Amino acid sequence: GAVVSQHPSRVICKSGTSVKIECRSLDFQATTMFWYRQFPKQSLMLMATSNEGSKATYEQGVEKDKFLINHASLTLSTLTVTSAHPEDSSFYICSAGDPLTSTDTQYFGPGTRLTVL
Amino acid sequence: ILNVEQSPQSLHVQEGDSTNFTCSFPSSNFYALHWYRWETAKSPEALFVMTLNGDEKKKGRISATLNTKEGYSYLYIKGSQPEDSATYLCAFNRGGGADGLTFGKGTHLIIQP
């Protein structure tokens, strides 16, 4: 149980285009999902907290107008990188917790490698 | 700014040997410390969530200890096997399930046959 999927696993796009990444909890419902990114040789960094039915909360330094988050259902959160530029090239990964379990474990998707040309 | 430090950055261990590595984290406002095992092209796999000072958890040949007063955790692997090769991440959590995690850079473990 507690499986999180992400799609796509890899995407290459041209500068100026927008890219949507999906994060799904496959066998549980998640009111809260988290989005992280990882630059080369750096740690996973929290970008934003995605809240079902309400606005996402963003970490300091993350532009909310550039990284649009939608959490329209209890099993799906999407991250849209708008007007992508080469500096947005990174590894993006999501996580979610299963509120029905007694632990605070967060389950991660396999991540999405974004390359902006 | 929260700092989570892991050492060493990488480690080569002979098959059959035991090994351990360290995670240090802020000792104030502590809620939980998470350990993950991450293989390339796969999702990070949750190993442990530790909340109590002095806690010790075990999963097969892998175990972890926690000292919240001094802000460190150790991960131990007994009798290393090639399948243990992975990056081991620790992450600090201040506010429970509603808060995101602050990660270290990980320890990259390579088991040599």
Cβ distance A105 to B42 less than 8 Å, yes or no, reads: no
pLDDT digits (tens, 9 = 90+) for A75-86: 999 999 999 999
Which parts of chain B sit beneath pLDDT 70? Answer: 1, 97
Q: Which residues contact B33 (CB under 8 A, 6 or more apart)?
A: B23, B25, B49, B50, B51, B66, B68, B73, B90, B91, B92, B93
Tokens of B68: 């919240």
What was the pLDDT predicted at B89?
98
B1 touches chain A (CB under 8 A): no
Cβ distance A107 to B46 less than 8 Å, yes or no, reads: yes
What was the pLDDT predicted at B75?
98
Task: Say which amino acid occupies A8.
Answer: P
**What angle is formed at CA A18 by the lines to CA A15 and CA A21, rounded to 5 degrees?**
125
What was the pLDDT predicted at A102?
64
Please tell me which residue of chain B has the smallest CA distance to A51: B98
A8 touches chain B (CB under 8 A): no
Which parts of chain A sit beneath pLDDT 50? Answer: none
The Cα-based distances of B36 to A28, A31, A110, B63, B71 in angstroms read: 20, 22, 13, 12, 18
Cβ distance B49 to A103 less than 8 Å, yes or no, reads: yes
pLDDT digits (tens, 9 = 90+) for A1-19: 689 999 999 999 999 999 9
B64, B13 Cβ separation under 8 angstroms: no
Q: How far apart are CA A5 and CA A88, in angstroms?
A: 22
| Widest CA span in chain B | 42
What was the pLDDT predicted at A104?
83
What was the pLDDT predicted at A39?
96
What was the pLDDT predicted at B39?
97
B42 touches chain A (CB under 8 A): yes
